[in-house]
Amino acid sequence: MIRNKILVLTYWSYPDALIQTYTLPYLRIIRKLDSVESITLVTLEKHREVLQDSNAKIATTLYADKINWKPFYYQPFGLRGLWMWIKAGVQLYRLIKKESINAIHCFCTPPGAIGYVLSKITGCKLILDSYEPHAEAMVENGTWKRSGVAFKLLFALERLQTKKAETIIATTTGMHKYAQTKFGVTIPKFYVKPACVDLDLFSKTIQKDEKLLNELELNGKIVCVYAGKLGGIYLREEVFEFFQAAVEKWGDLFKVLMLTNHTRQEIEKDCALVNLNPAVIITRFVPHHEVPRYMALGNFGITPVKPVPTKKYCTPIKDGEYWALGLPIVIPANISDDADIILRHEAGAVLTKLTKSEYERALSTIDLLLKQPEDLTRSRIRKLASTYRNFQIAEQVYKSVYSY
């Protein structure tokens, strides 16, 4: 059996939820495999106090899970970003040689570009995880231009890393065909691992907290919960138009509980654009371990991912969390495999258009679900998390990837 010494590349900072709730749970699974001898995690830090880790709290926490930590100071795309990666590349090359690292495991394609270069130079096997389109997604959400250097460079590197990778772990089944169509590559070792959810943290035993309901004045209300950001890859104005349609349907009964770090001033500005009373929306920013307690207050959730073509291949983390708590979901069509799952299992409403009439149709669907026995609905929907988002899926994938 090969003893794998793994260098894990990410484009995220240690405090980021994508490290805490998405990357680290998978690394703990990988670290438990008999074939894995060591893991070194690379993060990009936007704040120097995190990078310096003066009291070694982060390093100690990771080392308790037998994970080494190699942070770098983040610089955005451009000359400074290029210089950052040149310096980081030299250090990582030396680390690979010193520690006899034989596998480079990349979460998403931006760090996969660096992983590709390092694997070519060192001969390490390249493993792409959470594989989905990034370059085209950045064009679709308006951040990059298709004619721009950033798009052309990353798209070319996505093709190269797809050809080079020994194993690819995608977020949806459709990425196999995407690679064939866009890159002319048929992936030989292909696995699918959607964003899994901690079914112990988002547990079926979590009940609505009466004290919290009273504190937030949500008793007897129809509550739409949303955990996340607005804008960028997510809809913004359309979300508030949907909320306005819900007010027109349910009146004072309707409330929104938004778990976000957007300021109250931002939310009120968004409300003003659609003539929505901002009192309808309650905002809180809570640590992830508190999210289930707040999310469980909801009657249904919303996943406002922009319905652009590449989002067919994404994996919204929040869907698994909603499902685990038994919440129906409102989601645009063609988002991940999730929209089809929701439609097939009658577990919410799928928006085929972003129009008022479609919002009204979706709200009627939710209304019918809410009139069914709550315990039965929540139990039925929770099974979706167990089926499609269970960490056992990740365990089987990583065992297949590394146990040889």
Per-residue pLDDT tens over the stretch 136-160: 999 998 889 999 999 999 999 999 9
pLDDT in the model for residue 17: 86
Length of the chain: 404
Q: Are 128 and 162 in contact (CB under 8 A)?
A: yes
Which domains are seen in the chain, by residue range? 4-196+390-402 (3.40.50.2000), 210-388 (3.40.50.2000)
Average pLDDT, the chain: 95
Q: Strand, coil or helix: what is 333?
A: coil
Q: Per residue in 312-349, pLDDT tens?
A: 999 999 999 999 999 999 999 999 999 999 999 999 99
Q: Are 393 and 187 in contact (CB under 8 A)?
A: no
For CA atoms 16, 22, 25, 31, the dihedral sign is negative
**What does the pLDDT average to over 356-369?**
98
User: To the nearest whole percent, how much of the chain has pLDDT over 70?
Assistant: 100
Cα–Cα nearest to 138, from 23, 308, 10 = 308
pLDDT in the model for residue 1: 66
pLDDT in the model for residue 404: 64
Measured distance CA(96)–CA(329) in Å, rounded:
44
Using pLDDT thresholds of 50, 70 and 90, give the confidence band for residue 128: very high
Q: Are 247 and 254 in contact (CB under 8 A)?
A: yes
**What does the pLDDT average to over 28-43?**
96
Q: Are 352 and 158 in contact (CB under 8 A)?
A: no
pLDDT in the model for residue 243: 98
Which strand ranges, in their side-by-side order, compose the sheet holding 125-131? 67-73, 36-45, 4-9, 103-107, 125-131, 167-170, 190-192
Using pLDDT thresholds of 50, 70 and 90, give the confidence band for residue 382: very high
**What does the pLDDT average to over 232-239?**
94
Q: Per residue in 263-308, pLDDT tens?
A: 999 999 999 999 999 999 999 999 888 999 999 999 999 999 999 9
Chain Cα centroid distance, residue 193? 12
User: To the nearest whole percent, how much of the chain has pLDDT over 90?
Assistant: 89
**What does the pLDDT average to over 159-180?**
97
Q: Residue 379 above 70 pLDDT?
A: yes
Q: Residue 371 above 80 pLDDT?
A: yes
Q: Strand, coil or helix: what is 168?
A: strand
Measured distance CA(341)–CA(316) in Å, rounded:
13
Four-point Cα dihedral 10, 164, 157, 233, nearest 10 = -50
pLDDT in the model for residue 148: 93
Q: Residue 112 above 80 pLDDT?
A: yes
Measured distance CA(39)–CA(114) in Å, rounded:
17
Measured distance CA(275)–CA(152) in Å, rounded:
41
pLDDT in the model for residue 352: 97
Helical residues (DSSP H) of 123-201, grouped into ranges: 135-140, 149-164, 175-178
Q: Residue 103 above 70 pLDDT?
A: yes
Enter the DSSP assignment of 277: -
303-318: burial string, b at 16+ Cβ within 10 Å, e else: bbbbbbebbbbbbbbb
